[in-house]
Amino acid sequence: MTTAPTALVRVHWHHPEWVALVIAVVAWLGLAAPVATSPAALLRATHHPGIGVLGHAAVMAGAMMAPLVLPQAHDLAVSSLWPRRYRGTMCYLAGYLAVWTLVGAAMMTGLHVLVPRTGALPLVALTGAVAVVVAATEDHRRRLRRCGATRPLALTGWHADRDCADAGVRMAGRCAATTWAMMLAVMAQGGLVVLVAGTAYMVAERRGHLRDAQLARWTLALALVAVTLTALVVRDAGSPVPGLPVDPHLGH
- pLDDT 10s digits, 38-56: 887 888 876 665 678 899 9
Of 204, 226, 236, the C-alpha closest to 67 is: 204
Q: What is the pLDDT of residue 242?
A: 43
In 3D, which of 142, 192, 172 has the Cα closest to residue 68?
172
CA dist., res. 39 & res. 189, Å (int): 16
Q: What is the pTM of this model?
A: 0.87
The pLDDT, as a whole number, for residue 207 is: 87
Residues in the chain, overall count = 252
Condensed to tens digits (0 to 9), the pLDDT of residues 194-224 reads 999 999 999 999 888 888 888 999 999 999 9
What is the Cα–Cα distance from 116 to 96, expressed in whole angstroms? Answer: 32
Per-block average pLDDT, block size 10, for the chain (252 residues)? 71 84 95 84 72 89 95 88 88 96 94 89 95 94 80 76 92 94 94 95 90 91 94 63 40 36
Cα 137 from Cα 239, distance rounded (Å): 31
Q: How many CB atoms lie within 10 A of CB 129?
A: 16
pLDDT for position 10: 80
- In the chain, the N- to C-terminal Cα span, in Å, equals 73
Q: Could you give the CA distance from residue 165 to residue 142 in angstroms, rounded to a whole number?
A: 25
List of residues 6+ apart from 139 with CB closer than 8 A: none
Torsion angle, alpha carbons of 168, 169, 173, 176, to 10: 70
What does residue 217 show for φ and ψ, rounded to 5 degrees?
Answer: -65, -45
pLDDT at residue 3, as a whole number: 66
Alpha helices in the chain (DSSP H): 7-14, 18-32, 52-60, 70-78, 85-118, 120-135, 138-146, 157-189, 192-206, 212-233
